[in-house]
Structure 1
């Protein structure tokens, strides 16, 4: 078995990459310093003479400071401050036995953040770029990506990208190899330099959780904005186009009725089923995906207004249904 490098050597290696590190308490993910809260800061700590300095402000890539810190306690773990290190770390967790699996992931039999991310990449036409990768103590995965050169400062997210997916950026940190907790250790599984943040993830992290909406007749701002109701691909005469349009309208009206009748606790599944069935219309060229998304979102407006899910969550479910329809078609 290959022996893990000591924490000081590894912390210095991270610093050489330009990453900002700080010590973690032995066998813990808690920062070793400061040992007081901001509310209790009295300015006597040398770091706090001009104001309270937390772990993010104390994170450093200076070799002398790093050597001094870990030489004082070789049992310290290593924390990496993501924001100052220009990193966005995607934290992929695993399903905890006994906890509920939400739809549509239950239907897909998906139980890991890695599979959720893979599914979302397919839905959004993206690619999970190979990058610096760490296996966590709990069996999850950390994907380290280089933060984009934009004016936007990415912050931490929890579930915004998808189920079992969190991200760490400004205001966040990760425990890094060879940090140990109990009998487990964080281990590096891919040592390549961090790749640029994939475009589909950049889009998901940059977007507002509630896409553009329009006001409904009753004044509710929750109904998605609809585009033209004539997005169908014309094949043949005008009568054929009208027939196709009428057929699409009939299918969507029937699916909307079923969606509106969905009971509490089954609304998300009903939305996914509707999206899967409307996805078949997309496969047949009767409606574009963009227009189908608008119409299914409009059908879900009542559930969105009732806070069964928000518009962003509804869109993710709909795209998953479209993806399932397309997958079944390709496998047929």
Structure 2
């Protein structure tokens, strides 16, 4: 067997442009640019192979030389494809490749570009390409000449065959577009990861990568290796392809353009209450905000009116950060909510790193008609602990933008300040005004009088008039509009005591002292009788009443309010 070094010199003497490739490799380069540096200069070739006599020989094609590359591996049989044409081809020089394929060499008098998959298992190496020349070695297998015939001039049959690139619309690729050995795995893996990130189906990714391997990789990888690459990429989180229409609100318009444009008005999720965008619902503890949120979500899922207002029906996602599964189930049963698949409840732990967008994307993959996401409560997933205006405005704007991106409403149930001014209820939302400024709608559920059975529902939005409704929970804990805003009369003295305890949280002392402190119209003994008689009513108001053991002084008592909400 002749040496690689001696054969390289023979190629140079016969004016083939050649260059060295690393030992046992088809594509690993020795030179910075083989296209620019391939030569037929004897001295340069001698110098290269003196550095390493085992360098493989890269033979540059083009400039009058074309090689038809016939592949016979990976289930392909290029020779079977070529056989019908061979009878009309001139006899020419042929080399056998290390994989059992063949290289047919022809001289041409016109430009012929590289082409991948001219036919099944057949590539063309022309201008801008190269082949390994015998006796190059890959995987301990050598390239070898099948015959000693001279390289023939291509005839019309050869040119017709080569022109199949145009007839079959197969894309012709320059060598710069091919993925050579050593880079194939990395290229296919990155491509598969890209498709995975974009949210393509697993099977689509596998088919795409298999086709890229066939069309772009030279030589193609074994399918077993391609499948392994795909499996690795599919271990990463799958992305999401946006399928819902985003609300468009960007661009430059004149007043004339806006007024003359046929713009379809977006329907509120709940008429004049909850638009597409961000809604804040503020409520003190024990006012029924979870019942309110579940009733709202059920109305949207069912398509039935909510507090007399029309809704846009669709899937409702309820994120319960404060209640366990059994509590949610008990409330749904109390409310007699019917079984339905488009009212979805996630029971979650407090998570300051909760990815709301990812959860929305996951639900959209199942329910394309997702209309509303209710977060109960916002404090359990807030990332930003700062309560300055800029920080809170930035945070609420983020959810506003997210809602518009997916054309739905995000409802954040949030805390309110301990004291609510009935004349300015929206100022009670806990935090700075920044959290309010970024919202599209604000709802506050509160009592004008702590002892009242009724609640006030104050509603404020950017695109609908401010409104206040009086509502009350029925026996199923469902909220209904109260036609006659009338509350049962409560003893004035009891009312003063309850309001005092709600504000101050605890009182420990004598009945007589409390009577004096609150200017009650009764004495100590009378207050003791009043509180004892209304002990259950106090309990319903989250106040415990306890007579303390007698001391040398007057008998003392303790009143404690246990209804405080975390802030």
Instruction: State the TM-score, normalizing by the size of structure 1.
Output: 0.48
Q: Which has the larger radius of gyration?
A: 2
Q: Which has the higher contact order (CA 8 A, sep 6+)?
A: 1
